[in-house]
Amino acid sequence: MRPTEALARIRRYDGRLKAFVQVFDPPLFGEDDDGPTVAIKDLFDVAGVPTGGGAQVPLDPSPARHALVVERLLQGGYSAVGKTHTVELAYGGWGTNRAVGAPWNPWDAKVHRAPGGSSSGSAVAVAAGLCDAALGSDTGGSVRIPAAICGVVGLKPGRGLVSLKGVHPLSPSLDTVGTLARDVTAAARALAVISGPDGDAAVRHPFDAGHALSADVRGRRLAAIPIEGLGELHPEVAQLYMEALERLRSTGVVIDMIQPPQALETSFTPNGLLMAGEGWRIWKDRIEAHAEVMDPWIVRRFQAGRDVSDARLAQAHAERAAGQAEFHAWLSQYDGLLSPTCPIPAPPLDTIDETTSPLSRLTRAANYLDLPGISVPCGLTDEGLPVGLQILGRPRDETSVVALGAAFERVSGWNGQSPDLSGFEP
């Protein structure tokens, strides 16, 4: 969409949606004034613009330069229309933020439902058609979770494909940068633009979106986790998941219903230990200085890392390496692994239990095991709330993840459904 159209939609709808913390009017133009529009999670530096990080006290009041991925988007012809809400310091899956407020999931104008986190505003902005694509970070599902429960596509690469330079960290061993968009094509093209090593290496964009989007998936063999191996699921999530598998079979793929050697949720606790242990070491001074104006639940999560000793953290990394080796060996016989993205649809904000993290129960494994993944919409519940299908790939095989996501999208019946925004008009 043209930048002028994006800004008009933001002015019309974002007063209630609150996807953006700052709107760029005029936009930050790249090489093409009429290129695709993009929103930037407020964890990424934009030169001269405060990086809030979801906090009352900015992480950087005036960055000297753009994050490398922002620079690449501008060079690639994208126009940046603003910075979007995030869970404070990106540490939460619900999308709540008691420090600066939470965006509104656009699929329900009457009830303030969770937008998903931590890339909450990016998902809301894309779902509401306020931009063509958005940047997010994903440490335990923070791109895929909000994508799933806001009804958009969330694409998370493996570590190393996309630079983290200029992106404020949560857990350096788990952090990745991903893209959100209304369809797989737009998400994949944005990933191609931002991918590549740090600096000005000759090979700037090693991910070939065109190749991935045109790949034939017929005959590919996929593993799908059976319902009984997924833990507690909302009944409609389970139903839509099984229907999604049948639709995907119609593309010519072969799907084996099989439980992996490690259930996805076994990664939940060790992934959380790494986040807390590494996050506390990074943000300790800030938390001790500003705890009184921070989201208290975020403070508690970081403080859990105080008791993680250096020896325990080293042991956790060794355990992770062993778990990765076992899982990667098993996954090598398949082209992908299927599950629901989230076990429940978006709940009302006032019913959320901040001591639990069910939305990330099936997503953290991708970060812990260092696998690329995508969440693609696979239907709506009877209440009209989106549900996502998660496709995980073999290490460094973003091409298959995108190919399978695009193949499913063509048969999903979703057809670019979007929420009714009439209830969000002033």
Q: Which of 18, 83, 118, 163 is catalytic?
A: 118
Question: Is 118 a known active-site residue?
Answer: yes
Note whether 194 and 177 are within 8 A (CB).
yes
Question: What pLDDT score does 200 carry?
Answer: 52
Q: Tell me the torsion sign for CA atoms 406, 410, 413, 418.
A: positive
pLDDT digit of tens for each residue in the chain (426 aa)? 999 999 999 999 999 999 999 999 999 997 767 789 999 999 999 999 999 999 999 999 999 999 999 999 999 999 999 999 999 999 999 999 999 999 999 999 999 999 999 999 999 999 999 999 999 999 999 999 999 999 999 999 999 999 999 999 999 999 999 999 999 999 999 999 999 877 654 444 589 999 999 999 999 999 999 999 999 999 999 999 999 999 999 999 999 999 999 999 999 999 999 999 999 999 999 999 999 999 999 999 999 999 999 999 999 999 999 999 999 999 999 999 999 999 999 999 999 999 999 999 999 999 999 999 999 999 999 999 999 999 999 999 999 999 999 999 999 999 999 999 999 998
Tell me if residue 18 is catalytic.
no
Residue 120 is a catalytic residue: no
- Which DSSP helix (H) or strand (E) runs through 114? none
Please tell me which residue in 41, 83, 156, 163 is annotated as part of the active site: 41
pLDDT score recorded for residue 205: 58
Q: How distant is the alpha carbon of residue 25 from its chain centre? A: 26
Contact predicate 338/390, CB 8 Å: yes
Single out the residue of 180, 232, 234, 230 nearest to residue 347, CA to CA. Answer: 234
pLDDT for the residue numbered 206? 84
DSSP β-bridge partners for residue 40: 83, 135
**Does pTM surpass 0.85?**
yes
**Given this model, what pLDDT does residue 376 score?**
98
Instruction: Report how far apart the first and last C-alpha atoms of the chain are (Å, whole number).
Output: 22
Residue entry with tokens 């906090």: 55
Neighbouring residues of 276: CB distance < 8 A, sequence distance ≥ 6 = 301, 302, 304, 305, 308
> Which one of 137, 142, 339, 357 is the catalytic residue?
142
